[in-house]
Chains A and B, each alone.
Chain A
């Protein structure tokens, strides 16, 4: 049952990619991608349910493992894949790139494929390769518009991320070396094997290995101060790709950090590892909130908000405990949904007003009477206000922090939450309610249904999950946190 689901999960985006490359037909490519992505969304829910019910599955000489944590991240990724493939149908037609659309959709599904693949890898080395492949494919998506800015962003993205991720490779090799004292010179580098050997590895070696891995995957996840590629890449890529980078890719990289936290849990390095994750988390949060306040570009604003929220997830993982991990995982889902909504709205506004500058976007409600309201509510949600879902997960992470030894981080967190709230919403106040002497002339664009539908589909769950935390999810989180804290089995 689980194996069939996994096969569908991977064949769907692969088939969509082949169809796009093979048919060279734009309509076939876009509808094929929507179908594949929707199939993945359904399958990912079934996969999570099956994994929670039957425990984790090993496959292909234990190279592939479907555990609850992986299934959760797969769910988050598939949601964003589905939403942004629908949005892409409406958005990409506006770009005047009709003959290159099959290429776009091929890369788009390939990108989704590599991210999903990373989630099921049971071998630290192969996981690294999957993450590296996500970079290579998404580089060309970032540079898809072929303007000076997007090419520059793509170049910075690949250089910064490849060099950062090479640190993770060094860390992985050192983990393997440490394990070889316990398990012999040749063994399969599974998360379980690494966890079992970790307690007997020479502590300074384990510490250095973990820090290297943290910095490496932290670069890919966009934790400050390694986040420098993120605002460029997220702001210059087409809006559906921005949503994928922000809502899906960052989660896949956080998965790496979570897995390695699981590997060192219960060892003497564990405390230091958690402190390091908390420090990166709070630093990202502070840096991002300061940049949010003085931001001038609409998509860069969203990008810094991603740095902020990835910082919050890192805080949750760092605080640890059931509450912290549950908060971080809930935050992952909520951020995926809410940030997709924000990027979709930003894409609409950018195309209609023909500018990326916040100062050029005015009177949004007159241009977008319905989706404008969704976008505004989404902004309130992403700034962390109730009744939206991010409030609930941030609050849970705060509770986890107060209960633990990191009260200083909680204090900073609360202070800068206020800064983010004021900074983020003041940009939206300007865009919605500021009086202007010469109002801009927005264009009316076709395909609004394709671009409005995913906004509704992401807004409604954000509202529902903010009012009601389903008990099923809570059970899933306790299972996952037992896995992380006890190490992968």
Chain B
């Protein structure tokens, strides 16, 4: 476990990258505009790529450079490009009928992060300084889950829901770079490609939704109940 030998400089680099990505999740939470979500997601992916590279450099895992490269290309460029194409096709620029206003969802998001911290704190038994990084990584993993689910439940537009799903995945990916950098590379690469397929499938489905259901807002998808 390489975190056991982490020094304070490395700990602060990892922490600040992780915290910046969490902040970007809040940017997504606090905006109405679909394009902003995509930009924030792209920036978050780039931060994760930097983090992978940093962990690879300090922890002595050269294969993480490859992961960092793939993350930057796929999550940082290809996925945002695909999402932008979906947005262009839909002619929807912003969330109109979000259930929670951005300001209130920021407050709820903050509360969820605190809750995530409490859970993370219970799951760790390592001493500082490694313990700090571990708790932070766990907090961010769990709180990105909460934020993703929050976005799923208060946003209606199809694109917002895809992005919320990607936030769910980003949290896991980010945390796993810090906690388990030695995870077999095969799995990480397959998960990256899997994500690409997921977004492609979503793109096709969005088109079906538009043609056959006549809407891309989950508010209006209410034929099936009970």
Contacts and interface: CB of A to CB of B under 8 A. Distances in A.
Interface in A156-196: 156, 158-159, 162-163, 166-167, 169-170, 173-174, 176-177, 180-181, 184-186, 188-189
Contact of B212 (A148, A162, A180, A232): A148
Contacts of B107: none
B1 A181 contact: yes
Interface in B146-190: 148-149, 152, 158, 161, 164-165, 168-169, 171-172, 175-176, 179-184, 187, 190
Interface stretch (B32-40, B90-98, B218-226): B218-226
A170 B172 contact: yes
A129 B141 contact: no
Nearest to B188: A125
B172 A173 contact: yes
Given A126-B187, A136-B197, A151-B209, A176 B169 contact: no
Cβ-closest 10 pairs across A and B: A185-B182, A186-B182, A125-B187, A151-B212, A232-B224, A166-B168, A152-B221, A177-B179, A148-B213, A205-B123
Contacts of B145: 166-167, 170
Chain B interface residue bracket vs A: 35 or more
Task: Give the most central of A139, A151, A300: most B CB within 10 Å.
Answer: A151
Contacts of B218: 155, 159
Interface stretch (B11-19, B43-51, B69-77, B198-206): B198-206
A180 B223 contact: no
B141 A170 contact: yes
A163 B221 contact: no
A407 interface: no
Given A126-B187, A136-B201, A159 B161 contact: yes
Given A148-B213, A152-B221, A162 B198 contact: yes
B172 A129 contact: no
Contacts of B161: 159
B141 A208 contact: no
Nearest to A188: B184
B86 interface: no
Nearest to B120: A208
A489 B51 CA distance: 37
B58 interface: no
B183 A173 contact: yes
A294 B226 CA distance: 9
A146 B180 contact: no
A154 interface: yes
Contacts of A125: 183-184, 187, 190-191
B149 A163 contact: yes
Contacts of A152: 209, 213, 221, 223-224
B109 to A, nearest CB: 17
A90 interface: no
Given A126-B190, A204-B123, A159 B165 contact: yes
Interface of A: 123, 125-126, 129, 132-133, 136, 139-140, 143, 146-156, 158-159, 162-163, 166-167, 169-170, 173-174, 176-177, 180-181, 184-186, 188-189, 202, 204-205, 208, 231-232, 235-236, 291, 294-296, 300
A298 B85 CA distance: 40
Nearest to B141: A170
Contacts of A208: 119, 123
B122 interface: yes
Contact of B180 (A126, A140, A158, A176): A176
Interface in B77-131: 119, 122-125
Contacts of A174: 123
B62 interface: no
A129 B201 contact: no
A155 B205 CA distance: 7
21 contacts: A125-B187, A125-B190, A129-B191, A133-B197, A136-B201, A139-B201, A143-B208, A148-B212, A148-B223, A152-B209, A159-B165, A163-B148, A166-B165, A173-B141, A173-B179, A180-B180, A189-B187, A204-B122, A205-B124, A208-B123, A231-B224
Nearest to B220: A152
Contacts of A129: 187, 190-191, 194
Contact of B224 (A136, A153, A185): A153
B65 interface: no
B155 to A, nearest CB: 11
Contacts of A153: 224
Given A156-B221, A181-B1, A205-B123, A151 B194 contact: no
Given A126-B187, A133-B197, A294-B226, 19 more contacts: A125-B183, A126-B190, A129-B190, A129-B194, A139-B205, A146-B212, A148-B214, A148-B223, A150-B212, A151-B209, A151-B212, A155-B205, A166-B165, A170-B142, A188-B184, A189-B183, A204-B122, A232-B224, A296-B226
B132 interface: no
A232 B119 CA distance: 34
A173 B184 contact: no
Nearest to B193: A129
A149 B183 contact: no
A159 B223 CA distance: 17
A185 B123 contact: no
